[in-house]
Amino acid sequence: MLIKRPADIRSSEITDKKLYLNRREFIRAAGVTGVAAAAGAIGAEALVEAKGAAHGRKLANIKKSPLSVSNEKINSWEDITSYNNYYEFGTDKDGPEQYARDFKTQPWKVSIEGECAKKGVMDLEDVLKGETLEERVYRHRCVEAWSMVIPWAGFPLSNLIKRCEPTSKAKYIEFTTAYDQRQMIGVRVPVLNWPYKEGLRMDEAMHPLTILVAGLYDEVLPNQDGAPLRLAVPWKYGFKHIKSIVKVKFVEKQPLNTWQEQASNEYGFYANVNPSVDHPRWSQATERRIGEFFRRKTLLFNGYGDQVASLYAGMDLRKNY
Ligand code: MTE
């Protein structure tokens, strides 16, 4: 994944959310017509839009989550949306902001496949139906040893899984990203074996920290961050956080994820953040938090060990990297 490391990383200060709305301005889900429709509303309860977004389209009624990290500086909207990995839109960090701008995320369909009772193709609106988006402020640690703190707006992946009614054979889930040569300039070049794929073990996928993300701060997720739907698994390296998901497949065997397929000696299936297991070409002991000058120590499981270490009890984390 590391093709190059730009020398000049912009530092920036924490940006407060600039615009908060009067509650009366919120548009209730039941009445998603009028203003919301005119604004190109996505139309699901979870994505009720309100006026007044600072950057894109504003979401309403986002619930705070006790699973957020506290006392850490949240990165600014600008940091989170201008320094991205999304090879479908180029391999430079600033490429996705530029090239994903016009990527069409409406209408959007997600195919549910494999070992489950409720197979089929779902509209994004149905995936989000009945969900309340929660603000989850998560540490985000890329395997390239940079990190950010990001206020995602999402809902537990476990909610969707339960609705799909997996069979007893469903031991893992495989996710697939959209592939569109016309809209994604990056896939015209064979830098990866497209489409991008990722996987989780079922207990990882069901963990309350694992979310499907549809928003950033309190706005609709910008394209460069994986709109309209991406994964966030905060104790794992960033490459597990697959973007623009079009397929969710329940499988019996451990799936092969894109980066593991690309270089299995460098990228494993588990990809749990681990300061004592170096990448063959660089150390994972420290990280550069975007916006900070000094490097900081990387924490085992990215600091989420109390919640997730038990998932890996008895496993050799050096072998299962
Ligand atoms: N998903 C897709 N489809 N394509 C990608 O290239 N890059 C991954 C992950 N998800 C990637 C992807 C990597 S390496 C990282 S670090 C994170 O997205 C970056 O997420 P961010 O750009 O929102 O910070």
Q: Which of 9, 139, 239 to mutate to test the pocket of ligand 1 (most atoms within 8 A of CB)?
A: 239
Q: Is 228 exposed, middle or buried (0-12, 13-18, 19+ CB in 10 A)?
A: buried
Interval between CA 198 and ligand 1 midpoint (Å): 11
pLDDT at 49: 84
pLDDT at 93: 97
Q: Is the CB of 257 under 6 A from ligand 1?
A: no
d(CA 291, CA 57) in angstroms, rounded, equals 25
d(CA 10, CA 148) in angstroms, rounded, equals 13
Q: Is the CB of 274 under 6 A from ligand 1?
A: no
Q: Domains plus CATH for the chain?
A: 6-312 (3.90.420.10)
Q: Is the CB of 1 under 6 A from ligand 1?
A: yes
SS3 of 49-87:
EECCCCCCCEECCCEECCCCCCCCCCCCHHHHHHCCCCH
Q: Is the CB of 139 under 6 A from ligand 1?
A: no
Provide the token pair at 164: 């799909």
pTM for this structure?
A: 0.88
Q: Whose CA is nearest to atom 16 of ligand 1?
A: 238
Q: Is the CB of 76 under 6 A from ligand 1?
A: no
Q: Are 134 and 214 in contact (CB under 8 A)?
A: no
d(CA 132, CA 155) in angstroms, rounded, equals 7
Q: Which of 77, 86, 99, 260 to mutate to test the pocket of ligand 1 (most atoms within 8 A of CB)?
A: 86
pLDDT at 50: 84
Interval between CA 34 and ligand 1 midpoint (Å): 35
Q: Chain-centre distance of CA 71, in angstroms?
A: 22
Indicate the residue type of 151: P
Interval between CA 60 and ligand 1 midpoint (Å): 26
| 288 CB neighbour count, 10 Å cutoff | 17
Q: What is the pLDDT of residues 78-129, one digit of tens each?
A: 999 999 999 999 999 999 999 999 999 999 999 999 999 999 999 999 999 9
Interval between CA 242 and ligand 1 midpoint (Å): 6
pLDDT at 2: 55
pLDDT at 46: 82
Specify the DSSP class assigned to residue 145: S
Q: Is the CB of 49 under 6 A from ligand 1?
A: no
Give the residues of the chain that fall short of pLDDT 70: 1-44
